[in-house]
Structure 1
């Protein structure tokens, strides 16, 4: 079981990649290790590393490798994100992809090929580091594919699959090339891991990260299938400012269980029963969670997530608050850190450390999967595809309400199973599912499971 932190540099925020300081980075990473974390996720800015479509800066790649080395000196493994992309309301898209040179990020052949070159080079630059946890294609890159982004790149689901496959292949190729060049034994591709169950294995993983529109917005071209079919683990990012806190209150069940719910919802799309599930980004946003409630929110969110089967890790957002000297951030971004900008441990940081020390470093016992599963109607009874599935799964939707009713009734959230897979009894058995439950028309009933059991084939 992994406990980690997303590193937000305390000096210069992510602009610090422009004038990288090993000493500032070391100070931050030492503080993160002091929180009981075993890994960090880092975010080199895409335009800094690849400022021209055919220029990948060796010095920038070396800076990334240096961060991995510094982290290792404090006992931290590192996950490297490639395409930044988008961070805390700011976009970091290279100039060769915007304005006068604007081309579709996901479909233009030259752009896709050049982006793959960058991902491959970045992966190769860190492949031989023994503390490399993995490479994530980018931070919520699906937000570029549809509204509410102000200038999205139009994309279809099939085009999204082709793009994701190309990026994952590039990352794996880079890991293999880098490992081979250094003479290390591990291929770095993560392919050996795909047949293994959680926790995250030691060899580097390749993952695809999406924000929750993938599960909640039917118009978003990147969907659950992209998360479950590409890479070596299914990644979720859980934020209760998406409506959960407004509906349920900061410490209501629908908020503190949101991470657990999203993990179970995402796992429903996995085509392998033991595919790892990674809560790669979750935090306590103070625009909807009072500062006084943030430590309790942190603890409850973590404890509920720990009930999810095959949970590989929890990576908190983020390490440090954004400095007030930097302008134009949404207000919540200035107060998301586990540490203040000058390095003091905040109450949320203290609570995170308590959880990491209690359950990290081999002290977490993986739970048996919940035996009850709520049926998600991805198809009609005749097998025809259904629309509206994702909207129904969003906070306030009928499916989300039914899941929460069962979770509060049993004390542990149920698994989720797709209706299209109900007849695959071997798959259900492999997931430990013995009872399937349909969503009732009235989700306020307390006798949900008894009143509406799904017939097992």
Structure 2
């Protein structure tokens, strides 16, 4: 069981790559390692590393390797996201893909060749580092492919799959045998017209990544102490299993955080404790990586307010109460959870995945089951009668959303 943080530098945020200070990075990582965590997720900013399609800056790559080495010296493994892409409401796309050079990020042959070369280069530079876990293609790159992005590069689901397979192959060419995956924000699970589908997330790459944020309507509808809010991360972990090709495919809770004001700062630790406890009750969970390590400095302008206070450390590296929660979770032994024997049937057609979103019948039924003491998982409606599939997953009962009736306890903490 892995516990880590998404590394947000205390000085300069991700713009620190422009003024890279290894001593500052080391001080940040000292604080992370002192919690007893075992890994960080790292974000090179794509335009800073590949400002021209045929220029991948050697000095930037050297700095990424130096960061990985500094982490290893402190007992921290490193997983690297390549195509940033999108972070904390800002897009980071190189000029050779925008405005006068506007080309589709996912289908233009020159762009995709440049992307593949970039991912291959980063992976190869890190391949011999013992603490290097692998590559994530990019952070929530699916947000560029559909609304609500204001200027999407629209593609079909087949085009999304071809792009993902090529990018994952590039990572594997650079660093064979490492954990390579891709990461979508929750539109992949909830939005009917999102071309990056649940099947892509659950079947492509070496493990499934889910990103859990309760500002998606969950906390607004139900409140921060509700069953849906405190079990939302566990829900996404279990929802992903409906589409997995293998019964025991590992799932990484790669991003999860406590966003204010929906989760006020004084309640962040309690929210984290509940979220982690409930996620740990999911079989086949690979790890939990909290967003994020350090707060965004108030000296930096124009971030959404919730982004400034998500760190487990302040800007001067002082631990918050949430740091204690992570440290305690990392120290405790964790037994493998028992199989979840009750499965809720979910639509196999990705054109109906909004039924799984907050306010949808699958979402509501899942949390009614949880509130009444069940430990549900999910299964595609197209597999609900497949006895071999159910047996392989330890499922003994399948229910549909309309069979899960409201109860006096449904939707609130029991």
Question: What is the TM-score when the length of structure 1 is the normalising length?
Answer: 0.88
Q: What stretches of structure 2 of length at least 5 have no aligned partner?
A: none
Alpha-carbon distance in 2 for matches of 1:444, 1:355: 33
Q: Residues 121-167 of structure 1, C-alpha deviation per residue, up to 9 Å, x if partnerless?
A: 11001011101111100000000001111111011100000000000
Contact 1:205/1:232 (8 A) holds in 2: yes
Note closer, same or farther for the CA distance 1:386–1:7 as it changes in structure 2 (3 Å cut): closer
Q: Secondary structure at the match of 1:220?
A: coil
Note closer, same or farther for the CA distance 1:304–1:447 as it changes in structure 2 (3 Å cut): closer
Contact 2:371/2:409 (8 A) holds in 1: no
> 1:44, CA displacement in angstroms?
0.5
Alpha-carbon distance in 1 for matches of 2:341, 2:374: 13
**Counterpart mapping for 1:205-244 below 5 A:** 205-244=179-218
Contact 2:281/2:337 (8 A) holds in 1: yes
List 4+ stretches of structure 1 deviating above 4 A.
445-448
Question: Aligned residue for 2:344?
Answer: 374
> 1:442, CA displacement in angstroms?
6.8
Q: Secondary structure at the match of 2:317?
A: coil
> 1:175, CA displacement in angstroms?
0.5
Equivalent residue for 2:335, pick from 359, 365, 368: 365
Alpha-carbon distance in 1 for matches of 2:151, 2:137: 21
Question: Aligned residue for 1:416?
Answer: 378
Alpha-carbon distance in 2 for matches of 1:113, 1:147: 25
Q: Secondary structure at the match of 1:275?
A: coil
Contact 2:210/2:236 (8 A) holds in 1: yes
Q: Secondary structure at the match of 2:124?
A: helix
Note closer, same or farther for the CA distance 1:371–1:446 as it changes in structure 2 (3 Å cut): farther
Question: Aligned residue for 1:25?
Answer: 25
- 1:405 equivalent to 2:368? Answer yes
Contact 1:233/1:276 (8 A) holds in 2: yes
Mean Cα deviation higher: 226-235 or 312-321: 226-235
> 1:246, CA displacement in angstroms?
0.7
> 1:366, CA displacement in angstroms?
1.2
Question: Aligned residue for 1:248?
Answer: 222
Q: Residues 265-323 of structure 1, C-alpha deviation per residue, up to 9 Å, x if partnerless?
A: 01111010111011000000012111121111000000000011100000000000000
Q: How many residues align?
A: 410
Question: Aligned residue for 1:120?
Answer: 120
Q: Residues 418-438 of structure 1, C-alpha deviation per residue, up to 9 Å, x if partnerless?
A: 011123322211111111111
Question: Aligned residue for 2:73?
Answer: 73
Q: What stretches of structure 1 of length at least 5 have no aligned partner?
A: 177-187, 189-203, 379-384, 449-457
Contact 1:241/1:287 (8 A) holds in 2: no
Alpha-carbon distance in 2 for matches of 1:287, 1:220: 28
Question: Aligned residue for 2:390?
Answer: 428
Contact 1:141/1:210 (8 A) holds in 2: yes
Alpha-carbon distance in 1 for matches of 2:390, 2:66: 45
Question: Aligned residue for 1:9?
Answer: 9
Contact 2:197/2:350 (8 A) holds in 1: no
Note closer, same or farther for the CA distance 1:446–1:428 as it changes in structure 2 (3 Å cut): farther
Q: Residues 172-228 of structure 1, C-alpha deviation per residue, up to 9 Å, x if partnerless?
A: 00103xxxxxxxxxxx3xxxxxxxxxxxxxxx2001100000001001111101101
Contact 1:71/1:77 (8 A) holds in 2: yes
Q: Secondary structure at the match of 1:205?
A: coil
- 1:330 equivalent to 2:293? Answer no
Contact 1:236/1:280 (8 A) holds in 2: yes
